[in-house]
Structure 1
Amino acid sequence: MTPLHSDQIVVEEYPASSPSLRLSVVSETWPPEINGVSLTLSRLVQGLCARNHQVQLIRPRQTRVDQALQHDGFEELLMRGMPIPRYPQLKLGLPGKRALIHAWTLRRPDLVHIATEGPLGWSALQAARCLRLPVTSDFRTNFHAYSEHYGVGWLRKPIAAYLRKFHNLTQLTMVPTQALRSDLMAMGFERVQVVARGVDTRLFNPQHRSEALRTTWGAGPYTTVLLAVGRLAAEKNLDMVLRAFEAMRAVRDDVKLVIVGDGPLRESLQQRCPQAVFAGMQAQQALATYYASADLFLFPSTTETFGNVTIEALASGLAVLAFNTAAAADWVQHEGNGWLVPVNDELAYLHTATLLACEPQRIAQAGARARTQVARLDWQQIASEVEAHFLHTLSMR
């Protein structure tokens, strides 16, 4: 079971037989869009439906022919959206307060849960307040931190002020780590609680290791394969991945780099590092095989609220090298299932990578221990924790 902090709700107080709730979940991203928010939120919704709750998902229409789904315990309400600049495959929900007031007047939810803070999320918040509906929220993306990486650092304070106003208008904000909770509360956020992210330990599993796939990478039995997974964008600090690869190759030839994902930096990264394998976006089953077939996961980002890829890598039996922040701070045990270095200490990151290149057996030993730490992050347990917070929120009204 996931450890609970002293200020969290005790899950056992609310068994699976809790009363069925009518929940409206609002998100501006959803599968088949591939990103941490859409994938983890969809698993949470599945968990809530499995616990006998009725979920109405409110999201932007992804294509002109997109049709709302409806089946036992789950239905969709599709709203207007527009492509996000530089990410045309993703949609930004447009304001829809009037439509939401109409929908929720006809069929009133017990609670509204908002996963994203865009125009659709703001409209949902305002509509819920007009109807006096209880509202909870997720803090899933450090938009204020990302501003530094896109040349608009001057927007950091206004974005942070908007996020604080948004979340403080809700009855509860859920965050994935204790460190993020502390940071947000220091910024003036109120009523913040920790709920970890889950991981599908059946999908992400060392059993999916494929020597055939490694061969396509040019990796032999003793090759150390480095893996990076995520959006190829400025805020991911991917320069550190290439520098770590170069540092390791300087002391040992038999090292390969595989990068999974796509984004605006792909072309420039390929030009800089033609030796790397750029695999593009991968579906979940294929991604699980990529994780299990590598040896060391490089995660250099310092702007994540969590970093789902970290626990996916650990569940796959993959040792992790990361800065001591977000999910890594909670789930990577230094010199146990991976290595942690101080945040933004690039020299320490490169020094650790260089040492590991000389001792591949240490990487293999850490990989053998990797899965144990996250094996209990089952999605049903996470859904149980979220359910407990929903029920507590309702009991406080």
Structure 2
Amino acid sequence: MKIAIVSDTFYPQVNGVCNTFAKMTEYMDKKGTDYRFYVPLWENQTSIDPDRVLRFDSFKPWFYPECRMAIPNRRNYIKLKNDLDRFQPEILHIATEFSLGYMALKYAMENGAPTIMSYHTDIPSYLKYYNFQLIENAVWAYFRWFHSYAGINLVPSQATMDQLQAQEFTNLSFWKRGIDLELFSPKHKKEEVRSQIAASGEILLLYVGRISVEKELDVLMKAVKILGDRGLHFKLAVVGDGPYRQELESRRDPNVVFLGYRSGKELQSIYASSDVFVFPSGSETYGNVILEAMASGLPVVAPYSGGIKENLVAGFNGVAFEAGNETDMAEKIEFMIIDKGLRTKLGVNAEKSVEKKTWDSVFEELFLLYSSFLKENREFRKLSA
């Protein structure tokens, strides 16, 4: 099977989508799949791409400065077209609605390429955080038009499927997410890592993710202030970076430590050495970090909202609070801080609840879907000939 994957999100960027494609690459290499990735070129990129990755001249969008998007010009389109003509993919998988995705869709429409798309980020819901809510309906209209050309539209969670069905998207199927149980495990716990952050034996809360307004970190910071005012003994470690970090750091909360980006063994140890994972965002299409935390043996405090509902079972592997309500979040975190027995019980359950969510099982299901789609497409073409 020959698969071409088009995405505006790829390494060296760091997020859940990039991680998913990295794991997909490992799976395809292991299975001997013939594939190509078409992705933006990053400025000052030092890593050398394998032959299976083709990069395109790009720019930094003002609304997401950590991202790159391919320049939508004729030069990039001809580069994409020529390589796809040479590669002749059996499936064109488009994972972005933006410039590179639009060019790939143009190619698919002109050449009849069998096309699958995947929906990764709830962009329309993010608009209100940047005072662009007036264009939300227009963005939905464009997304709906764009995805109408897909034979299959892949979504990561039931919540996302429900959302897109309400917006009249069609041909929806699941592509869920997995976890590497060797990378994320309680066995990576290190007391020296913990003591560097919580030197006085405080309960260690952890947030991992992009530091931006749409992640609703204001809710978390207000909850932390409430807990601090109550005299509770804790520290919050914030792992990640983003445009809102400077604003949050300027508040100088003594209970909050900003660690920046962390990866590999360092990130594994931070997860496993923490006590509770706290996550304020209610607009996730899935929430990969929830799986990482649970696999590391951490109970989760998060809103029962969006894709988080896929994994959070309130009272079993974590506790849920009302999305956007800092007082409720503070109360739920307080339960976890003061009750070690509850933390331990929910943490053990959290680890158990993800033990079957392996990446291999996720990609086996995806490639069965690919194969079924390819078979149906071939049969349709025979009937149409």
Task: Give your verdict on TM over 0.5.
Answer: yes
- Residue aligning to 2:233: 254
Q: Does structure 2 conserve the Cα–Cα contact (< 8 Å) formed by 1:295 and 1:363?
A: yes
**Alpha-carbon offset, residue 40 of structure 1:** 1.3
Aligned residues: 373
Runs (5+) with no aligned partner, structure 1: 1-20
In structure 1, what is the equivalent of residue 78 of structure 2? 98
One-letter code aligned to 1:60: P
**For residues 289-368 of structure 1, what are the structure 2 equivalents within 5 Å?**
289-368=269-348
1:291 CA drift (Å): 0.9
**Given that residues 226 and 294 in structure 1 are in contact (C-alpha distance below 8 angstroms), is that contact kept between their aligned partners in structure 2?**
yes
* 1:55 pairs with 2:35: yes
Letter in 1 for 2:219: M
| 1:239 correspondence with 2:233 | no
Q: Secondary structure at the match of 1:116?
A: coil
**Which residue, out of 111, 126, 140, partners 1:160?**
140
Q: CA deviation at 1:365?
A: 2.1
Q: Which residue is 2:196 aligned to?
A: 216
Q: Post-superposition shift, 1:360? A: 3.3
- How far apart are the structure 2 equivalents of 1:205 and 1:218? 20
Opposite residue 198 of structure 2, the aligned amino acid is: G
Shift of 1:368: 2.0
Distance in 2, matches of 1:349 and 1:89, equals 29
Alignment match, 1:187: 167
Alpha-carbon shift at residue 349 of structure 1 (Å): 2.4
Match of 1:372 in 2: 352
How do 1:35-50 and structure 2 match up within 5 A?
A: 35-50=15-30
Could you tell me how far apart the structure 2 residues matched to 1:374 and 1:133 are?
A: 36
Q: More deviation in 267-276 or 159-168?
A: 267-276
Q: Which residue of 2 aligns with 1:111?
A: 91
1:37-72 C-alpha deviation (Å, 9 max, x unpaired): 11111212221232221111111111366676336x
- Cα distance in 1 for residues equivalent to 2:302 and 2:153: 26
Q: Unpaired runs of 5+ in structure 2? A: 378-385
Residue identity matched to 2:53? E
From 242, 250, 258, give the equivalent of 1:263: 242
- Displacement, 1:99? 2.6
Task: Tell me, in whole angstroms, the C-alpha distance in 2 between the residues paired with 1:249 and 1:386.
Answer: 46
Taking structure 1 as the reference length, the TM-score comes to 0.89
Q: Is the 8 A contact 2:58 2:70 kept in 1?
A: yes
Rounded to whole Å, the distance in 2 between the matches of 1:219 and 1:136 is 50
- Write the distance in 2 (CA, Å) between the matches of 1:321 and 1:59: 35
Output the CA distance in 2 between the equivalents of 1:34 and 1:343: 25
The answer as to whether partners of 2:223 and 2:327 remain within 8 angstroms in 1 is no
Question: Is 1:199–1:378's contact at 8 Å kept on the other side of the alignment?
Answer: yes
Q: Distance in 2 between matches of 1:97 and 1:171?
A: 22
AA matched with 1:264 = P
Secondary structure of the residue that 1:24 maps to in structure 2?
A: strand
What is residue 120 of structure 1 aligned with on the other side?
100
The separation in 2 between residues aligned to 1:269 and 1:141, in whole angstroms, is 24
Tell me how far 1:105 sits from its aligned partner.
2.0
Aligned AA (1:241): L
How far apart, in 2, do the equivalents of 1:290 and 1:32 lie? 21
Distance in 2, Cα, partners of 1:91 & 1:145: 21
CA RMSD of aligned residues (A): 1.8
Higher relative contact order (CA closer than 8 Å, sequence separation 6+)? 1
- State the distance in 1 between where 2:110 and 2:46 align: 29
CA contact (8 A) 2:5 2:35 kept: yes
Query: Matches of 2:363 and 2:353 in 1, distance apart?
Result: 19
Residues 168 and 190 in structure 1, CA contact (< 8 A), matched pair in contact too: yes
What SS does the aligned partner of 1:124 have? helix
Q: Which residue matches 1:288?
A: 268
Question: Could you say which residue in structure 1 is the equivalent of 2:383?
Answer: none
Decide whether the 8 Å contact of 2:225 with 2:253 is kept in 1: no
Tell me the residue number matched to 1:82. 59
- Specify the code of the residue in structure 1 equivalent to 2:317: N
Identity of aligned residues (%): 28
Distance, in Å, in 2 between the alignment partners of 1:384 and 1:156 is: 35
Tell whether 2:152 aligns with 1:175.
no
1:121 is paired with a residue whose SS is: helix
Cα gap change, 1:89 to 1:263, in 2 (>3 Å): closer
Distance 1:186 1:40 in 2: 26
Measured in 2, the distance between the counterparts of 1:322 and 1:261 equals 18
Greater CA drift, 339-348 or 252-261: 339-348
CA shift at 1:235, angstroms? Answer: 0.2
